[in-house]
Structure 1
Amino acid sequence: MRSSDSPMSAEDPHGADIAVSLEGVVKKYRDQTVLHALTLKIARGEFLTLLGPSGCGKTTLLNLIAGFAEADNGEIFIDGQLVTNLPAHQRHIGIVFQNYALFPHMNVERNIGYGLKMRGVPAQEIAERVADVMRLVKLDGLGQRKPKELSGGQQQRVALARALVIRPKVLLLDEPFSALDKSLRGAMQVEIRDIQRQLGVTTVFVTHDQGEALSMSDRIAVMSAGRIRQIATPDALYRSPQDPFVASFLGDVNILPAQYHGEQGGMIQLRLGSGLISVNRTRLVGQQHDGGRLDVYIRPEQIQLEPLHAQSVLSGTVVNHVFQGDHINTYVDVDIPVEGRQRVMVRSPGLQAMQQWPVSAVVGLALPDDGISIFQPEARHA
């Protein structure tokens, strides 16, 4: 490993200003590898989310950036400075833990100012900086209260203020909304994102909640089994996943088996159900196939119910409607040749689908011309 006296350039080769860089980072616990030679660059001021199921390695990755865990191989840079072997207190990192980790015997002001006191900041400056950050996170007038006298949202604001008051190079958020109820969670998502934009602080956010990731992030790194499967903007991940795990994990998706039926003029012909669909070849991820079975991934809102007619590629029987407030999820049992019966979810705005297509109705399913992804079937479990 390089000496910490030899900083890496903080400029990405493509010109982006890089705040955090991990190069070939490996982490093992006993004989189990939990991060596999992971490489990641995070731009200055970016809000990057690490998203994945429990056990995928996202919290381990956060702990490596923070300095709470040591990498077995690879290098970590913050602001171009090698920090792989630096202890946590020398990395100038702010972190908000899942359980907030507030000191119960200290009031709000002392909790927030604790990190500054440990750094030897003069008392007058601590008071000024604590007052400033309390105004920022809307804690005015609560400085003398103890954590037990605060609501969950207020405790989270204290934890956020404590992380921000040190003016960190990087802010780390470890599932900070898990203890909040749904309505408060949504409000705090908006509030924290607004503060992050206002301060321009580079932020790494860990969550297993797809909705949080989609609503808050500049980019999302989807992780599975210690690897980043894809990293992109929320829109790109949702609309153009390059990995079947990403397509399945990020939002609802229907996976329909199809047979390759030739191609012409950049379009692939697929036999799906009783007919053929024509799909741009760019939607075939990997661009390789064996001329046989392919899996078509379609989001439920991209399918439309229609009266059954001779040109309907797919048809089936409505078996259930699930009311979701602003939309209806309609479940249709579809017969797929060779594969047998398969249940498809269709998402429609309002209540019209429930009224127009009652349970037991036979319907056609109209598929989009684009907006679908095609994968090799064996790739689904890779």
Structure 2
Amino acid sequence: MKVVHSDPAAQPGLSHPQADTAVSLEGVVKKYHDQTVLHEVSLKIKRGEFLTLLGPSGCGKTTLLNLIAGFAEADSGEIFIEGQPVTSDPPHKRQIGIVFQNYALFPHMTVERNIGYGLRMRGVPKDEVAQRVKEAMAMVKLTGLGHRKPRELSGGQQQRVALARALIIQPKVLLLDEPFSALDKSLRGSMQVEIREIQRRLGLTTVFVTHDQGEALAMSDRIAVMSAGVIRQIASPADLYRSPQDPFVASFLGDVNILPAHYHGKAAHEIQLRLGSGYLSLPQARLVDASHEGERLDVYVRPEHILLESLHAGSVLSGTVIHHVFQGDHINTYLDVDVPRTARQVVTVRSAGLGAMQHWPVGSVAGLALLDEGISVFSSRK
């Protein structure tokens, strides 16, 4: 499957990486025994950007990170860092900083010794190591904890030690392998902000691996959504969320309703779909695939892009309210809708405030208005 890019700088296949490209992968294939886990992946990561590899477990994102780091060897393809081929170089020659999921701290070393380890291995003079360790500890808010052992630290403090150890060697690229997975929700949020602020201040090219969509949306300049060893789409968080170019991307990134429809035709810059008991007109750009008269399509629409309205003759869809879920700043309303189907079709509508619960009690019938900006249309998967 081809990779869909949101900008020209991301186009694969160039034999000489562009000047603003920090990391470039060209046609990279990785196999384990007889199973291919990466299928000719091409990717360009811009200098200074925060790029996230997002996807479910087993999609190949950690393998891709390990290839960049040098912990795994590609079966074919080329990898460049700062324009230099590194495909055959061992990890210590790539000037990569990495923070592992379990932090991988040395339990017998103090915080200071852990942070300074990479500099000592590079033969940096003792006085310089001490000064740079002091500066790194201040950067990650660990001043005063230098003589503690990892077991004497909280999870967030251990993560800061691992981050400082990665940053102190002044890496060309920082790799983050699901670093927040062991932290509670509130601490994850604060660490996301801190790491992103440090990354921006240093202008450090960063590759972040996660399966958490919220983390990816909150932290990234661009996101590469992966599944089954391929990159489905690369774009900014907003572009991916609003204009997915692949059904997997549309369904994986955030909540989405999938409604069955049929192609009815087009006029000028609009397409017309037969949906429910009526017809829905949309900008032609919302139809990702070419389609023909009568062809079955799937309409993907975000819950927050559906409005509940009074039922009237012009309503394309209507539904019976079966449940409300209070979520603090919004309400999720679940409706049994009247689209043609062989099984029950439940649609989720997300509304701000408490109005939906008050105006549409369980058992009431409402019309559903679909907002153009939240809709993508693909050829049916069935």
TM tier relative to shorter chain = over 0.9
Deviations 1:40-80 (A, max 9, x none): 00000010000000000000000000000000000000001
Q: Aligned residues: percent identity?
A: 76
Secondary structure of 2:199's counterpart equals: helix
The aligned counterpart of 2:253 is 250
- Check whether the contact 1:335–1:341 (CA below 8 A) recurs between aligned residues: no
The aligned counterpart of 2:301 is 298
- Check whether the contact 2:22–2:81 (CA below 8 A) recurs between aligned residues: yes
- Return the alpha-carbon distance in structure 2 between the equivalents of residues 263 and 340 of structure 1: 29
1:138 and 2:145 matched: no
1:11 and 2:11 matched: no
Q: Which amino acid aligns with 1:11?
A: Q
The aligned counterpart of 1:370 is 373
Secondary structure of 2:127's counterpart equals: helix
- Return the alpha-carbon distance in structure 2 between the equivalents of residues 174 and 69 of structure 1: 15
TM-score under structure 2 normalisation? 0.94
How many residue pairs end up in the alignment?
368
Q: Which amino acid aligns with 1:337?
A: P
- Return the alpha-carbon distance in structure 1 between the equivalents of residues 308 and 344 of structure 2: 18
The aligned counterpart of 2:349 is 346
The aligned counterpart of 2:275 is 272
Q: 1:254 to 1:135 in 2, by over 3 A?
A: same
The aligned counterpart of 1:58 is 61
- Return the alpha-carbon distance in structure 1 between the equivalents of residues 106 and 226 of structure 2: 33
CA RMSD in angstroms comes to 1.2
- Check whether the contact 1:269–1:278 (CA below 8 A) recurs between aligned residues: yes
Q: 1:50 to 1:290 in 2, by over 3 A?
A: farther
- CA drift of 1:355 comes to 1.5
- Check whether the contact 2:323–2:362 (CA below 8 A) recurs between aligned residues: yes
- CA drift of 1:370 comes to 3.5
Gaps of 5+ in 1: 1-7
The aligned counterpart of 2:157 is 154
Deviations 1:196-222 (A, max 9, x none): 000011000000000000000000000
- Return the alpha-carbon distance in structure 2 between the equivalents of residues 325 and 201 of structure 1: 37
Secondary structure of 2:344's counterpart equals: strand
- CA drift of 1:10 comes to 4.5
- CA drift of 1:262 comes to 1.6
- Check whether the contact 1:280–1:370 (CA below 8 A) recurs between aligned residues: no
**1:164-183 paired onto structure 2 within 5 Å:** 164-183=167-186
Secondary structure of 1:94's counterpart equals: strand
- Check whether the contact 2:95–2:173 (CA below 8 A) recurs between aligned residues: yes
Secondary structure of 2:182's counterpart equals: coil
- Return the alpha-carbon distance in structure 2 between the equivalents of residues 206 and 338 of structure 1: 38
Q: Which amino acid aligns with 2:69?
A: A
**1:80-91 paired onto structure 2 within 5 Å:** 80-91=83-94
- Return the alpha-carbon distance in structure 2 between the equivalents of residues 133 and 278 of structure 1: 57
- CA drift of 1:371 comes to 2.9
1:224 and 2:227 matched: yes
**1:60-99 paired onto structure 2 within 5 Å:** 60-99=63-102
- Check whether the contact 2:265–2:292 (CA below 8 A) recurs between aligned residues: no
- CA drift of 1:339 comes to 4.6
- Return the alpha-carbon distance in structure 2 between the equivalents of residues 368 and 10 of structure 1: 41
TM-score under structure 1 normalisation? 0.94
Gaps of 5+ in 2: 1-14
1:330 and 2:333 matched: yes
Deviations 1:215-254 (A, max 9, x none): 0000000000000000000000000000000000000000
- CA drift of 1:320 comes to 0.7
